[in-house]
Amino acid sequence: MAEYKKKDCYVNRELSWLKFNERVLEEAEDTTVPILERLGFISIFQSNLDEFFMVRVGSLHDQMLLSNEVRDNKTTMTSKEQLRAIIKETTEIMLRKDCAYQNIMGELRQYGIHIKKYKDLAEKEQIALYAMFKKDIKPLLFPIILGKKQPIPFLRNKEIYGMAVLETKGGKRKIGIVPCSTPQCKRLLEVGLESGKFMLIEEVILHFLEKIFTGYKIVEKALIRIIRNADIDESSVYDEDLDYREHMAEVVKMRRKLSPVRMDISRNLSETIIKELCDYLKLEKKCVFQSSSPLDYGFMGCIKDYLRDKKETIYEKRRGKYPVMLEKGYVIPQIEKKDVLLSYPYETMEPFIRMLREASEDEEVVAIQMTLYRLAKNSQVVEALIQAAENGKEVNVLVELKARFDEENNINWSRKLEEAGCNVTYGLDGLKVHSKLCLITKRTENGVRYITHIGTGNYNETTACLYTDLSILTARQDIGEQVAEVFWCIFLGETIKETRDLLVAPNCLQNRILTIIDEEIEKAERGEKAYIGIKVNSLTDKAVIDKLICASKAGVEIQMIIRGICCLKPGIPGYTQNIQIKSIVGRLLEHSRIYIFGASGKHRKVYISSADLMTRNTLRRVEVAVPILDQTLQKRVEEIFSSLWKDNMKARQMLPDGNYQKVKKKEEAFCAQEFFYNH
């Protein structure tokens, strides 16, 4: 029998993330998923991978520039070793992505959808396509031939370019580059005499490169796409002459110009040309990946539009219901009578928006305070806050400008809030404010009273239809007072040092969780039943992981639903044999965070939280977990967790070797997300 050590319990963070994206790809490979949704999962897989390279791989590259000895604190892998493993895994999974795409496109033929190559077109179609290219596309292209007086142009992040090796009559070789992103032209062009035949515009441009670079022989050609590092430390480039918002706007511009970390190519190119391109871009050859499928899947919407009357090609449309706990009408008086739990997207966000609008007009309401992390493009939340400010309410808003890839949107909204008279602040030095808090302050005959909202997800109407999240609305004075203290500290540029019921990072979340786990360990050591249930997006915090290992060794039963990164292996004899881990990847993105401590009964503690169990959340952000104190609501959260645990359609079980397999159906098929929609 193998002898295990504690180090065998750990998984590298980056490799675990790649396993998560593999689970996303499995949805694209699953023929029980509607076909256009499968195409959508390929697009999600690709955008996930792009962001992973922009942020995580970019960060590893930066670490290597500083030192070759920076090591992962769990597996002790160096940055170089991690990059090597990432490239190997990425190469393999991109082959699967290409295969999944080809299978989907093959199945789409039965619906009359054909994405063609030029050689597949009839002669009349080829003639018509050239006429279209000459008249509508070529005039909008701006090709460049590289040379001593014309260095390589700046290749924009994630955009597609046509690249050709050109040979003069004298035998000299040069490289020509053509941007394929032409906003004036559709990405997917109808090219057939019958409807349903399409070509991607970049494939059209690539085919007609000889009509662009006239006077040259095309020796080699391919489409290329660059992914650039986006991991920029905004504090390291701080310009004290700019206010913070304008500084972040400059950071966004800088990110677009950082070094390449990956290049995708659509054709076989000679080693010589790949080396030359890598030299131009200062990119290592191992970071070049060939793909036989499109380099970007932004054309997917065109196909959906074409097949909009084929209902079987997409998921059945589901809409969130108005919460059963609330009657239609004024929301605040109902919250003052009882706590209310909202579950998105199965329930609509409408009551929360309504509550904000009521507060903006309520004469007793004197102030609204709120943290905003990611906002919808057309935000009703912001509109309600603006209305409140215009009605004379004190509106204090923290807009987190460091919400990665949402900085530009948040900068625009912060300006509008300020123009309306809201007091806007932009976070704390060195910390992101990721908590989801809204506090309405009322001055009544009985003194100051609070209405509090605490949630697991952003105040974003768009993601509230796509992500599963929980939030609580309460008039409990003790909870309101603690949230008021959190806001007081935030707006003074500080972090709260102590709390009573709330768990608040960075000072009193991780340590409190460790203490509560210790309580379960003590129960197990006394021979009592002990239990921990956790649902989060990711688990990487080593202190928490090590404490969970201790709990497992003591006999605590531990069930965890971790959608994404998980740096802990279950089922390792002598260490994690009492831990089970599942991941659910399906139609909706599982985003809610739930912590359950205690086997059952009145001493069980149940929290919902904005915080994943990652060091960045527990120690480097302002996060809030709130206890569910109402027994009816606590039971409901427990039932949500147990229903997710029962899932045998979209759940994968993590194995002791770190791999995942679909949960075996021992009972009737059960999909938790469909169950919640139906109940």
**Beta-carbon contacts of residue 333 (< 8 Å; ≥ 6 apart):** none
Q: How far apart are CA 485 and CA 188, in angstroms?
A: 54
Q: Do 205 and 197 form a contact (C-beta atoms < 8 A)?
A: no
Q: How far apart are CA 520 and CA 535, in angstroms?
A: 17
Q: Where are the beta strands (DSSP E) in 84-172?
A: 114-115, 144-145, 160-167
Q: Do 23 and 585 form a contact (C-beta atoms < 8 A)?
A: yes
Q: Which of 211, 202, 318, 327 is nearest to 266 (CA)?
A: 202
Q: How far apart are CA 677 and CA 679, in angstroms?
A: 6
Q: How far apart are CA 594 and CA 560, in angstroms?
A: 10
**Beta-carbon contacts of residue 361 (< 8 Å; ≥ 6 apart):** 391
> Phi/psi at 422 (nearest 5 deg)?
-75, 150
Q: Do 197 and 114 form a contact (C-beta atoms < 8 A)?
A: yes
Strand, helix or coil at 161?
Answer: strand
Q: How far apart are CA 470 and CA 455, in angstroms?
A: 6
Strand, helix or coil at 319?
Answer: coil
- Strand order across the 260-265 sheet: 144-145, 173-179, 160-167, 217-228, 260-265, 288-290
Strand, helix or coil at 30?
Answer: coil
CA-CA distances (angstroms) from residue 354 to 233, 330, 635? 38, 8, 26
Q: How far apart are CA 394 and CA 366, in angstroms?
A: 6
The amino acid sitting at 156 is R
Q: How far apart are CA 32 and CA 442, in angstroms?
A: 52
Q: Do 486 and 472 form a contact (C-beta atoms < 8 A)?
A: no
Q: Do 366 and 450 form a contact (C-beta atoms < 8 A)?
A: no
Active site residues: 434
Which letter, b or e, does each residue of 537-572 get, where b requires 16 or more Cβ atoms within 10 Å of its Cβ? bbbbbeebbbbbbebbbbbbbbbbbbbbbbbbbbbb
Q: Which of 659, 640, 662, 667 is nearest to 651 (CA)?
A: 662
Q: Which of 43, 96, 410 is nearest to 251 (CA)?
A: 410
Other Cβ atoms closer than 10 A to 263: 22
Q: Tally DSSP H helices, then E strands, for the chain.
A: 20, 27
Q: What is the DSSP string of 194-262?
A: STTEEEEHHHHHHHTHHHHSTTSEEEEEEEEEEEE-----GGGG--TTS-HHHHHHHHHHHHTTSPEEE
What pairs with residue 534 in β-bridges? 560, 595
Q: How far apart are CA 245 and CA 425, in angstroms?
A: 10
Q: Which of 539, 531, 542 is nearest to 561 (CA)?
A: 539
What region does 160 belong to: left with phi over 0, alpha with psi -120 to 50, or beta?
beta
